[in-house]
Chains A and B, each alone.
Chain A
Amino acid sequence: MTEEDFNNLIDQHLETWQRTVIRITNNADDANEAVQQALIAAWEKRHSFGFRARAASWVCRIAINRAYNIIRKRRRDAERENAYAQEDCVHEPQENVLDKLQRALELLPEPYRETVAVAIANNLSAEKCIRILNCRPGTFYWRMQQAKIRLKKIMEDL
């Protein structure tokens, strides 16, 4: 893949990547960072990746992993300083249902969280999600079902 191919890929899929990653990080700067790191990682490994048609899914997958790395690092830093990020604890008194969903997403275990994030970013298209998550259809549907059950419970408790 050439730089031109990467430019086209960015033009076509950047929004989907950002929409996916921001559901995981809940922070625009971290989402930008994850996408940027994913692009560089994809560029470095471009020779080992032959299927251009699946490059967008591949970059998205890398971006999700980088997003997890970033939030884990943040969590570790916060624990080290013995103070969780205060901005995460302060919420608007009248938050809408989508903000509540975002907060509930943060409390979901990682596999469910990324499944929901990818689903939302791809307009709940199972086919695209399965390709990005690189899992079996049964696994995707099962995770979505479990995620919905958990989300419902978490959102009721919030």
Chain B
Amino acid sequence: MNHKTDIDQILEAAAAAPCNGAGLKSAKEVKNEFHNQLSQVREVPYLQYFLKSAAIITVIFTILFFGCMNRKERIMEKENYKNIMLACFALKTLNGDLMK
């Protein structure tokens, strides 16, 4: 018993039919074209990629470095301010004690 539908038969006919594309290149033409194109394909510029990556990394590290330095300075300023305040407080206390 044949269970195949019409569409199955059409697909089988399409598979069995010769390639309907007039104008398709032969293997020889494809190979010639391929080898012509290969000669035009540039080699990958690894050195260029390396230099670009190095430049980007340098910029990132420079930004990070100056950012850290700036933060350190701000922390030191804060520390100095704290020390001055402590000294003032000590002087004030001492002065109070002396006045007694």
Asked if chains A and B come from one complex, the reply is: yes
List residues of A whose CB falls within 8 A of some B CB.
Answer: 3, 6-7, 10-11, 14-15, 18-19, 22, 27-29, 31-32, 35-36, 39-40, 43-44, 97-98, 101-102, 116, 119-124, 148, 151-152, 155
Are B19's CB and A35's CB within 8 A? no
A10, A18, A29, A148: which contacts B19 (Cβ < 8 A)? Answer: A18
Size class of the B contact interface (CB-based, 8 Å): 20 to 34
Q: Identify whether the interface residues of B are mostly helix, strand, loop, or mixed.
A: helix
Are A36's CB and B34's CB within 8 A? yes
Interface membership of B97, Cβ < 8 A? no
Q: Would you mind naming 22 contact pairs between A and B with Cβ atoms under 8 Å apart?
A: A6-B34, A14-B27, A15-B19, A18-B19, A19-B19, A22-B20, A22-B21, A27-B21, A31-B21, A31-B24, A32-B24, A32-B25, A35-B25, A36-B33, A36-B34, A36-B37, A43-B34, A44-B41, A101-B14, A116-B11, A120-B11, A120-B14
